[in-house]
Amino acid sequence: MDTEELKGLGLSEEQVKGVMASYGKAVNPLKEQVTTLTSERDGFKTQFETVNGQLDTIKKGHKDDDDLKAQIEKLQADNKTAAETYQSDLTKTKVDYQTELALTQAGAKNVKAVKALLNSDKITLNDKGQLSGLDDQLEAVKKDNDFLFQGDTTGTAPQIVNPGNPNPDTKTKIDPATASYADIVAAQTAEQ
């Protein structure tokens, strides 16, 4: 669903905004959940394949108990490092997704362009799973690059007039249906 489809159905700009906001509230948490679950699945697959490969290596290289203990300790350290890397990647995925969502909600015309202006190292997740460090950066980017964001367009629509009447607010009101051509020309000449 996009705004053009809704406008094609005859909805006004305000109605389109309302529908898209409701749609976003319903769909965005699901998108985040899918992204998180996909990352977790991929991480578990990688860990599973790594552990299976390590066990095969142990079976082939087992010589005595001291050698086995050393291999197990090394594998435990490697698995701990892999788990930390996986958790870091998952957190980064969540931060990226929530940052893009926040930029979209802030009215960014091009999320990638605005995101490039942010210092991603300063954007983190707090204990509640919410972004911290984005608001101040976003305000600074909006202040310096307001053209990258959709502004408030209420009341700024151009006035559309018929091509034959460039100034609709004439001082002399003449009814073209009953007036003669000479009266219309005289009224226009008097206005200039």
In whole angstroms, give the CA distance from residue 164 to residue 11: 30
Q: What is the pLDDT of residue 45?
A: 85
Instruction: Decide which of 65 and 46 is more confident.
Output: 46
Q: What is the pLDDT of residue 158?
A: 53
In whole angstroms, give the CA distance from residue 37 to residue 167: 61
Structural domain total, the chain: 2
Instruction: Decide which of 186 and 17 is more confident.
Output: 17
Is the pLDDT at 160 greater than 90? The verdict is no
Helix (H) or strand (E) holding 131: strand 131-132
Is the pLDDT at 171 greater than 60? The verdict is no
User: Is there a domain that residue 142 lies in?
Assistant: yes
State whether 167 and 100 are in the same domain: no
For the chain, what is the HEC assignment?
CCHHHHHHCCCCHHHHHHHHHHHHHHHHHHHHHHHHHHHHHHHHHHHHHHHHHHHHHHHHHCCCHHHHHHHHHHHHHHHHHHHHHHHHHHHHHHHHHHHHHHHHHCCECCHHHHHHCCCHHHCEECCCCCEECCHHHHHHHHHHCHHHECCCCCCCCCCCCCCCCCCCCCCCCCCCCCCCHHHHHHHHHHHC
State whether 114 and 133 are in the same domain: yes
Give residue 60's domain range. Answer: 3-148
State whether 130 and 165 are in the same domain: no
> How many helical (H) and strand (E) elements, i.e. helices and strands, does the chain have?
6, 2
User: Is there a domain that residue 154 lies in?
Assistant: no
User: Is there a domain that residue 103 lies in?
Assistant: yes
Task: Compute the average pLDDT of residues 60-85.
Answer: 80
Is the pLDDT at 153 greater than 50? The verdict is no
